[in-house]
Amino acid sequence: MALSQSELIRLLESLRSTDGIELIRAIAERMVQELIEAEASAHIGAEWNEHTPTRTNIRNGHREKVLTTLAGDLDLAIPKVRTGSFFPSLLERRRRIDQALYFLRNVFSVIDRDSGEMVAATIRTIFTQPSAELVRTQLDTVADMLGTQFPKVKAMLLDAKEDLTAFADFPPRHWKKIQSTNPLERINREIKRRTDVVQVFPNDDALLRLVTAVLCETHDEWVAFPRRYLPEGSMDELYRELPESAPALPNTTNTTVS
């Protein structure tokens, strides 16, 4: 989508009146938004308000999204579609930082700086094992290896063993997504950002409706084909045998085997 003359004039005014950092942020924001709109048009099969036989869907407004970049926070608008879901490939979630990094922050506080790289590399081997059994065995091995020189690190590893290895109880295909609390922290930040805009809610139901809408949008992003956040097949493995008291999953019913 080409810039109109009025938009070009506003951009030139920005060049004259704003500082360099804000200008870079504004340019990055506009560029990313244009790419998102172009991908949405390709997904739908038509430009905005264009009537064409290739159209396969209809735009249905936008939802807000903040993308944090080196240029600053970009305030973006993600197009919504009438049927199904759309999420731009440009915003595919970045690779999660594994839980070892959070734990290492505490470890670094009890060791000397020169030993940091060696200790960190040793601890990271815990998170690269191919099975749950080997993950837990490796933690014990690493604790023993480091224990002689760094007894505090050994104690920290053993004390945190249950938390550090909890991810290993899930299918290996999920590990990179759940080794950290980043997804939860991101959702909490998005909820806070959206509620800060309103600030004062007339009642609890109004707050609940907004938070529910945020979670529904996140759900749409996570399940949108072909970029499911967690693979459907491995999710089915988790829920193959539901207890009688468990709530039914969407589009399913719990059955009791007699």
Interatomic CA distance for residues 94 and 8, integer angstroms? 32
Residues 66 and 82 in one domain: yes
Domain range for 200 is 181-231
| pLDDT means over runs of 10, the chain (258 residues) | 65 59 76 87 83 83 79 83 78 46 76 86 87 92 93 91 82 71 77 86 87 84 65 67 50 42
Strand stretches in the chain, DSSP E? 59-69, 72-81
Q: Which of 141, 138, 146 is nearest to 110 (CA)?
A: 146
For 87-104, give one letter per residue: b (16+ CB within 10 A) or e: bbeebeeeebebbbeebb
Question: Is residue 214 one of the residues assigned to a domain?
Answer: yes
pLDDT of residue 98: 41
Question: Is residue 246 one of the residues assigned to a domain?
Answer: no
CB 11 within 8 A of CB 24: no
Total Cβ atoms within 10 A of residue 216: 11
Question: Is residue 238 one of the residues assigned to a domain?
Answer: no
Q: DSSP assignment, residue 258?
A: -
pLDDT of residue 257: 37
Question: Is residue 208 one of the residues assigned to a domain?
Answer: yes
End residue of a domain, out of 38, 61, 91: 91
For the chain, how many structural domains are there in total? 3
Q: Which residues contact 204 (CB under 8 A, 6 or more apart)?
A: none
Question: Is residue 198 one of the residues assigned to a domain?
Answer: yes
Residues 128 and 74 in one domain: no
> What are 19's two structure tokens?
């500082």
Residues 188 and 172 in one domain: no
Residues 221 and 151 in one domain: no
Q: How far is CA 100 from CA 114, 159, 163, 178, 253, in A?
A: 19, 14, 11, 12, 38
Q: Is the alpha carbon torsion for 124, 139, 160, 178 positive or negative?
A: positive
Residues 11 and 70 in one domain: yes
pLDDT of residue 157: 92
Residues 10 and 85 in one domain: yes
pTM for the complete prediction?
0.43
CB 156 within 8 A of CB 123: no
Question: Is residue 253 one of the residues assigned to a domain?
Answer: no
Residue with tokens 């197009």: 79
Question: Is residue 241 one of the residues assigned to a domain?
Answer: no
